[in-house]
């Protein structure tokens, strides 16, 4: 990081994730070619990792921070959020699932895989934000996992046996569930409802 001393100063603020624009701004004295050469040397030395075109991360950056920089509106959900809320054991450490409105995307880099799942605008709720990272509530992460399983997605954990649902707020679950379409609600009642 000797070549780019200011990067350390900004790494914490940016969650260890930089856009090409950030790196250009930090190197205002360099030409475009100079920025790319410096960037390439840092990647070769392992000081930065290329996440995708125009996005670079420190090797210590979290997948949640990278996801938030790629799409600040996406919220971490399904197994990733359930694990963070201690509702399931472990999930693959180098994989993160987040939910967003729009086209689903998968981003793979040496730090892991980020999957942005698509959801309808009316179902885009049930999360809070901390340090620039949106995280689903345990109840919404559970419902999102059920919803995507209903749509045919497989997970690395079993919805029936691996999720600790004892502490989930049933009133909040009912409130959230009311927003989903009737077919999913019927499937949820049949497959996952405790009653």
For residue range 106-129, list pLDDT tens digits in order.
999 999 999 999 999 999 999 999
Cβ pair 112, 95 in contact under 8 A = yes
Helix then strand then coil, in percent of the chain rounded to 5, is: 40, 20, 40
Q: Which pTM does this prediction carry?
A: 0.90
pLDDT digits (tens, 9 = 90+) for 140-172: 999 999 999 999 999 989 999 999 999 899 999
Mean pLDDT of the chain: 91
Model pLDDT, residue 77: 97
Q: Where are the domains of the chain?
A: 6-57, 63-191
Where residue 31 falls among pLDDT bands split at 50, 70, 90? confident
Q: Is the pLDDT of residue 91 over 80?
A: no
Sign, Cα dihedral of 40, 41, 45, 46: negative
Percent over 90 (pLDDT), the chain: 76
* Phi and psi torsions of 28, nearest 5°: -55, -25
Alpha-carbon distance of 85 to 140, in angstroms, equals 11
Ramachandran class of 11: left when φ > 0, alpha when ψ lies in -120 to 50, beta otherwise: alpha
Q: What are the CA-CA distances from residue 14 to residues 2, 21, 66 (Å)?
A: 19, 12, 9
């Amino acid at each position: 990081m000797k070549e780019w001393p200011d990067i350390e100063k900004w790494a914490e603020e940016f969650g260890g994730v930089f856009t090409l624009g950030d790196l250009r701004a930090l190197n205002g004295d360099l030409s475009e070619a100079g920025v790319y050469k410096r960037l390439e040397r840092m990647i070769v030395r392992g000081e930065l990792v290329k996440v995708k075109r125009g996005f670079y991360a420190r090797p210590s950056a979290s997948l949640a921070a990278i996801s938030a920089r790629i799409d600040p509106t996406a919220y971490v959900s399904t197994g990733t959020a359930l694990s963070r809320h201690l509702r399931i054991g472990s999930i693959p450490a180098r994989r993160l699932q987040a939910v967003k409105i729009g086209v689903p995307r998968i981003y793979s880099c040496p730090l892991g895989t980020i999957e942005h799942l698509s959801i309808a605008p009316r179902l885009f709720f049930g999360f809070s934000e901390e340090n620039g990272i949106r995280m689903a509530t345990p109840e919404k992460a559970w419902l999102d996992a059920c919803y995507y399983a209903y749509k045919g997605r497989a997970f690395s954990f079993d919805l029936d046996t691996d999720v600790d649902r004892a502490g989930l707020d049933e009133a909040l679950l009912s409130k959230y569930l009311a927003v989903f379409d009737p077919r999913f609600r019927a499937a949820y009642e049949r497959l996952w409802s405790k009653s």
